């Protein structure tokens, strides 16, 4: 950005992880100020301007970081422990504690989770319109009936929040699930609707990013 001007909605989108339209809505709602004054739609800013969102300063210049982490089962993705469940931040080096997770994995799910302080990157990785593919290894409490496998892959299973459809491929004693949605506990709920319990759920890839031998509890720097 240097000394160049940038549209305020673009700046907010990159820093907050929202769309430009959503950034405009924040401006209209009065949640944003520039130099202590409400800005107009289409306003531009530079590094000398003081931008605040909900009365908190949004830094103009930020060094972005991108991290891949292999989350072990039993850890939550929030910053605070939930009951007896520890947070993944306990496993991360202190210098990465300012990063936020890109989406989430539930406590019992292991595998690839991304972290960053780049809101625009997080938005593009998680918003449904970008259709980022995620691949999981799934172990069930009993073999999946061929009819159920076809049903999930070809037609989908109706859940309380709408139909759930993803590709399921049998691979030895596990199943490979490929999907582009990111609904809460979607894989577990889909199999449960057909009478199966997910014993193990492990994410191996997210978009173009893969674990690539990363050990559980370890992290690696990635490029956006």
Hey, which residues does 202 pair with through a beta bridge? 110, 137
For the range 187-192, what are the long-range contacts, defined as Cβ-Cβ under 8 Å and sequence gap of 24 or more?
187/136, 187/138, 188/106, 189/159, 189/164, 190/152, 190/157, 190/159, 190/164, 190/166, 191/138, 191/140, 191/144
**Distance, CA of 188 to CA of 87 (rounded, Å):** 21
How far apart, in whole angstroms, are the C-alpha atoms of residue 132 and residue 191? Answer: 22
Q: Cα–Cα distance between 136 and 105 in angstroms, integer?
A: 11
Based on the residue annotation, tell me whether 106 is a catalytic residue of this protein: yes
Q: How far apart are CA 107 and CA 136, in angstroms?
A: 15
- Active-site residue identified among 106, 141, 161, 171: 106
Tell me how long the chain is: 224
Contact yes or no for 134/115 (Cβ under 8 A): no
CA dist 125 and 134 (Å) reads: 10
Catalytic residues: 106
């Amino acid at each position: 950005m240097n000394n160049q001007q940038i549209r305020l909605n673009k700046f907010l989108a990159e820093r907050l992880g929202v769309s430009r339209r959503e950034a405009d809505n924040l401006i209209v709602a009065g949640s944003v100020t520039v130099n202590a004054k409400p800005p107009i739609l289409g306003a531009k800013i530079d590094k000398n301007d003081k931008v605040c969102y909900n009365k908190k300063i949004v830094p103009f210049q930020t060094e972005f970081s991108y991290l891949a982490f292999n989350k072990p089962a039993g850890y939550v993705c929030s910053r605070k422990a939930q009951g007896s469940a520890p947070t993944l931040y306990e496993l991360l080096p202190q210098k990465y504690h300012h990063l936020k997770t890109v989406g989430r994995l539930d406590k019992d799910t292991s595998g690839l989770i991304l972290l960053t302080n780049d809101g625009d990157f997080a938005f593009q990785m998680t918003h449904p319109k970008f259709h980022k593919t995620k691949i999981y290894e799934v172990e069930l409490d009993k073999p999946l009936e061929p009819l159920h496998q076809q049903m999930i892959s070809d037609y989908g299973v109706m859940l309380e929040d709408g139909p759930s459809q993803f590709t399921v491929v049998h691979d030895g004693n596990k199943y490979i699930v490929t999907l582009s949605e990111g609904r809460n506990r979607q894989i577990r709920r889909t199999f449960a609707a057909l009478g199966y319990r997910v014993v193990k759920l492990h994410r191996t890839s997210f978009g173009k990013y893969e674990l690539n031998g990363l050990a559980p509890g370890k992290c690696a720097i990635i490029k956006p």
